[in-house]
Chains A and B, each alone.
Chain A
Amino acid sequence: MASSNAVFLIILVLAAAVFSFSAQRLVRFLRLGQGTHRFDALPRRIVNLLTIGFGQTKILRDPVAGTLHALVFWGFVVLQLGAIEILVAGVVPAFSYADLLPVPVYRLFLLTQDVTSLAVLVAVSVLLYRRLVVKPRRLQGDQVHGGDAILILSLIAALMVTLLLTSGAERVTAARAPAIVQPFAAALAIVLSRMPDSLLSALHGVSWWSHALLILVFLNYLPYSKHLHVIVSLPNTFLSNTSGPGTIGTMKAMDLDAETEQFGASDVTHLSWKNLLDGYACTECGRCTAACPANMTGKPLSPRKIVINTRQRLSEVAPSLVGADDPMSALPMHTGPRDDTDSGARDRRLLDHYITEDELWACTSCRACVYECPVSIDQLEIINELRRNLVLTESRFPEEIQPAFESMERNGTPWAFPASDRAKWAEGLDIPTLAELLERNERADVLYWVGCMGSFDERAQKTTVAFARIMKHAGVRFAILGQEEACHGDPARRMGNEYLYQILAKQAIETLDRYRVTTIVTACPHCFHQIGNEFPQLGGHYEVIHHSTYIEQLLADGRIALADPVAQRLTVAYHDSCYLGRYNAIYDAPREVLRRSLPVVALVEPPRTRDRGLCCGAGGGRMFMEERIGERINVERKKELLATGADAIAVACPFCMTMLADAGKKLDSSVTVLDVAEVVAQHLAEGVTAVPRDVA
């Protein structure tokens, strides 16, 4: 075997060299991206790696495909050990773990290899069947590389077959352990033992060589396939900010004073290296797109396509940007049909040539895509960066949002209403402003941030008043800013207008700090998220409590006396707000408020609920845009909620309120939409002062 060992050594070294070359090339491409710091919050990153990565928690959200994938993944991890043994033995024939490991451990090793290889073979066969026969919808579209998937699955199947054959043939000549630790190899050996020796020897040789070579082929094919994710997804999960480090859902901070003419991204080089890594990590499973409210209602946006396009564009332009450093620039790349001849590549860019405006403006920023991604890709950040470029660099956006921008500048609200009308709802309600309290030398415990919807929208004003009544009832010393409140700029930020956002946010911070505000309550999840999670980027640090949480606490503390809810029998379907739920993981507080306020209430859940909740369609500035393409998201959602048969729909967000109430008109539904605060306020025992539990 000496000569064949030498040959294998040469092949091994060559394969390693080619792989190292490919890997370095990919790293060089990544370095075309902008810097981003991804080594903070290490404990959280490690937890993510262990749960989402090794634990496959996100993958398993799809029970069928998830289980199969998890089997293959865990099988791969297990079989790595065997692969190392095989590769080393190819050079040093005498090498075997048998000589290194205690017998029980070695036998356990053999058992895992044997069982796992068959399990993977079965899983891969089912997955192949799924792709070739069942053809699930989410695996179609977006120019996904279906053939690539078939090739990889077949390759894995071949790896497993050759592995089993090798083990089986080995057992015929020299069984290293009882049949019980290699049940499948042993079974195979029984069949193979009938072969003539020469044929068996040949079969072993072929199987071994095929297996070893397939490993090397597989390794070297990966960098040129969407299955690069096999290598990249674990690091990608570790480096991601989508599930922990940083505040979830916080938009990327932006330095507007930087000396640059490029704001946001119009091409891959303006994105961060992590956005580019996302492209490598994507295996086109389509879970993001399947969960996207825009996509499911017929809009051109597909979060998967955004990621695939990012990778395609990087592959197209990177070789020419890396230039002479890339000796392979002439070779065809893995990512598809576009040629990467230098001239064309330089003339194109990610925006327009790959990703169109209609796709970008269709996004509701609901984060369902980000939440579903099994490898922690951040599709939303790419969309937001492209939106920023559209607005800040190119001033291109749907014309109907210009009035919203201008109104935010002039009136401090995206709605075309005068700032002087902001506190009109409070007239005659005896609600002090912070300015009035300051004059009287009094202080408030909490500031009630009403928000633009709560201030100007007739319907939302009812929620505003309801929450104010609850706080008064509970004896909370609260105040409002009155006419000093103005939009914090979140809608502008979501629509890509970071400049306007920062002006407004800084003004708001200045106002809040002037009154030394520390604790803020608000009935708007967007205000809640923006002030609580994003103001810190600009130096504003406040404790912000959403009204659902606050009311829940007041109820828990016994500070709210409710009238006897006799004859109340109400079935309520609660609709999760994206900015409360997926952005801030508040799912239980609003439900708890409903349960506590109406003991005989029956809470029902639509099929898509909690972290899978479908967006109402208003987020990401969509509230201020026309929905010209496809079906209406709010109608789609309203249908789901109505299908629960609930008597009422409860929300905890004024935007959800408007969208679902509007959809109700369209569907001619008389089912009322109520804010959780209204449900409580309807049942306040007037004239009764609740005795706080800790006092009683």
Chain B
Amino acid sequence: MRIAVCIKRVPDMDVKFRIAGHAKGVDETGLKYDMADFDGYAVEAALQMMEKEGAGEVVVVSLGPDAVQETLRKALSMGATSAIQLKCDEVPFDGFAVASALASELGGATYDLIMFGRMSTDNANGVVGPMVAELLGLPVVTACSKLEIVAGRGTARRELEGGAEFVAFDLPAVVTIDEGIARPRYPSLKGIMAAKKKPLATKPANLPEPRLVIARMDLPPERKAGRIVGEGAAAVPELVRLLQQEAKVLA
């Protein structure tokens, strides 16, 4: 089985972001980058399928500047077979532009399965996977929390609001991966060493003109400092009021 997994390099989210001077993105100084969470699950799921089958190939693909090679190497160190960088200076915010570039690469090769994370953790648009499927005319199953491929046919569990559904489909297909499918493995040093020797191809990204463009980025209003609402059960009504009206978490 030949599997392509599209991965994105994103900053670690557990920081206080600052807005860059040009106001169209975050200030990148001091940020640590890694593979987006859901993409990590997808890579892990792909590797497990390849290992279970005992044969096949996992090709990781990433769009972006040369820095994405680091993310691709990480996937290689986890066990992916080869990597492709679709080179561009900047990853557009427009998911359709990204999907077009990916589709033009992926369409030229024969993959049994094309995998994505459900969404990237930075832009969180969650559109690229299904768009690539449509551009390639392939069936797509989004938000899979379980996935199994047996003899060219896939079954998956999809997470829905307040429930789940199980689906079956034929390959080739596109799937997007949700949390819970598999925890990404921690690359061994042996894997890291091996990854240095694995093939990583760089090709120009075939990007169309984006039609969804960032006008500016802003930080949401500062979170208010915590406070003691009161003592004992007498403080409960005020707490409930604050949860409803201030924090708005009782919807």
Direct contact of A and B (CB under 8 A): yes
Q: CB within 8 Å of B: which residues of A?
A: 256, 261, 263, 391-395, 397, 399, 402, 405-406, 409-411, 416-420, 498-499
Whether B16 lies near A420 (C-beta < 8 A) is: yes
Assembled-state Cα–Cα distance A395/B47 (Å): 15
Whether A499 lies near B15 (C-beta < 8 A) is: no
Whether B188 lies near A394 (C-beta < 8 A) is: yes
The 5 closest A-B pairs by CB, nearest first: A395-B188, A392-B189, A410-B12, A499-B189, A410-B32
A420 to chain B, nearest CB (A): 5
Whether B14 lies near A405 (C-beta < 8 A) is: no
Q: CB within 8 Å of A: which residues of B?
A: 12, 14-16, 30, 32, 34, 183, 185-193
Q: List 7 A-B contacts (CB under 8 A).
A: A261-B193, A391-B189, A409-B34, A410-B12, A410-B32, A411-B12, A419-B30
Assembled-state Cα–Cα distance A33/B26 (Å): 53
Assembled-state Cα–Cα distance A303/B139 (Å): 57
Whether B32 lies near A395 (C-beta < 8 A) is: no
Assembled-state Cα–Cα distance A604/B95 (Å): 68
Assembled-state Cα–Cα distance A416/B15 (Å): 11
Assembled-state Cα–Cα distance A391/B189 (Å): 8
Whether A392 lies near B34 (C-beta < 8 A) is: no
A391 to chain B, nearest CB (A): 7
User: B188: which A residues are within 8 A, CB to CB?
Assistant: 391-395
Closest to B185 in A: A395
Contact of A393 among B16, B186, B189 (CB under 8 A): B189
User: A395: which B residues are within 8 A, CB to CB?
Assistant: 185-188, 191
Whether B191 lies near A418 (C-beta < 8 A) is: no
- Which of A395, A397, A409 has most chain B Cβ within 10 Å? A395
**Which applies to chain A's interface (DSSP): helix, strand, loop or mixed?**
helix
Assembled-state Cα–Cα distance A409/B12 (Å): 10
User: B32: which A residues are within 8 A, CB to CB?
Assistant: 409-411
Assembled-state Cα–Cα distance A393/B194 (Å): 11
Contact of A419 among B15, B185, B189 (CB under 8 A): B15
A252 to chain B, nearest CB (A): 16
Closest to A261 in B: B190
Assembled-state Cα–Cα distance A673/B32 (Å): 37
Assembled-state Cα–Cα distance A256/B193 (Å): 10
User: A416: which B residues are within 8 A, CB to CB?
Assistant: 14
User: B14: which A residues are within 8 A, CB to CB?
Assistant: 410-411, 416-418
User: B34: which A residues are within 8 A, CB to CB?
Assistant: 409-410
Assembled-state Cα–Cα distance A261/B16 (Å): 40
A621 to chain B, nearest CB (A): 14
A456 to chain B, nearest CB (A): 12
**Which applies to chain B's interface (DSSP): helix, strand, loop or mixed?**
loop
Whether B16 lies near A402 (C-beta < 8 A) is: no
Assembled-state Cα–Cα distance A409/B192 (Å): 15
Assembled-state Cα–Cα distance A668/B192 (Å): 47
Beyond A418-B14, A420-B15, A420-B16, whether A405 also contacts B189 by CB under 8 A is: no
Q: Beyond the given A391-B189, A392-B188, A410-B34, could you list 7 further A-B residue pairs with CB under 8 A, ordered by the A residue number?
A: A263-B189, A395-B185, A402-B186, A405-B186, A406-B186, A410-B32, A418-B16
User: B30: which A residues are within 8 A, CB to CB?
Assistant: 419-420
Whether B183 lies near A399 (C-beta < 8 A) is: yes
Whether A392 lies near B190 (C-beta < 8 A) is: yes
Assembled-state Cα–Cα distance A394/B191 (Å): 9
User: A498: which B residues are within 8 A, CB to CB?
Assistant: 189
User: A420: which B residues are within 8 A, CB to CB?
Assistant: 15-16, 30
Assembled-state Cα–Cα distance A142/B64 (Å): 57
Closest to A421 in B: B16
Whether B192 lies near A499 (C-beta < 8 A) is: yes
User: A394: which B residues are within 8 A, CB to CB?
Assistant: 188, 190
User: A405: which B residues are within 8 A, CB to CB?
Assistant: 186
Closest to B33 in A: A410
A424 to chain B, nearest CB (A): 11
B156 to chain A, nearest CB (A): 24
User: B186: which A residues are within 8 A, CB to CB?
Assistant: 395, 397, 402, 405-406
User: A406: which B residues are within 8 A, CB to CB?
Assistant: 186
- Which of B14, B16, B186, B187 has most chain A Cβ within 10 Å? B186
Assembled-state Cα–Cα distance A263/B12 (Å): 29
Assembled-state Cα–Cα distance A401/B201 (Å): 34
A441 to chain B, nearest CB (A): 25
A458 to chain B, nearest CB (A): 13
Closest to B192 in A: A499
User: A418: which B residues are within 8 A, CB to CB?
Assistant: 14-16
Closest to A412 in B: B32
User: A391: which B residues are within 8 A, CB to CB?
Assistant: 188-189
Closest to A388 in B: B189
User: A411: which B residues are within 8 A, CB to CB?
Assistant: 12, 14, 32
Closest to A399 in B: B183
Assembled-state Cα–Cα distance A395/B183 (Å): 13
User: B183: which A residues are within 8 A, CB to CB?
Assistant: 399, 402
User: B15: which A residues are within 8 A, CB to CB?
Assistant: 418-420
User: B192: which A residues are within 8 A, CB to CB?
Assistant: 499
Closest to B32 in A: A410
User: A417: which B residues are within 8 A, CB to CB?
Assistant: 14
User: A261: which B residues are within 8 A, CB to CB?
Assistant: 190, 193
Assembled-state Cα–Cα distance A68/B185 (Å): 54
Closest to A264 in B: B189
Assembled-state Cα–Cα distance A143/B34 (Å): 48
Assembled-state Cα–Cα distance A418/B32 (Å): 11
Assembled-state Cα–Cα distance A411/B15 (Å): 9
A394 to chain B, nearest CB (A): 6
Assembled-state Cα–Cα distance A405/B34 (Å): 14
User: A392: which B residues are within 8 A, CB to CB?
Assistant: 188-190
Assembled-state Cα–Cα distance A592/B181 (Å): 56
Assembled-state Cα–Cα distance A417/B30 (Å): 15
Closest to A402 in B: B186
Assembled-state Cα–Cα distance A411/B16 (Å): 12
B7 to chain A, nearest CB (A): 16
Assembled-state Cα–Cα distance A303/B192 (Å): 32
Assembled-state Cα–Cα distance A395/B185 (Å): 8
Whether B190 lies near A263 (C-beta < 8 A) is: yes
Assembled-state Cα–Cα distance A256/B187 (Å): 15
Whether A256 lies near B12 (C-beta < 8 A) is: no
User: A399: which B residues are within 8 A, CB to CB?
Assistant: 183
Closest to A395 in B: B188
- Which of B32, B185, B188 has most chain A Cβ within 10 Å? B188
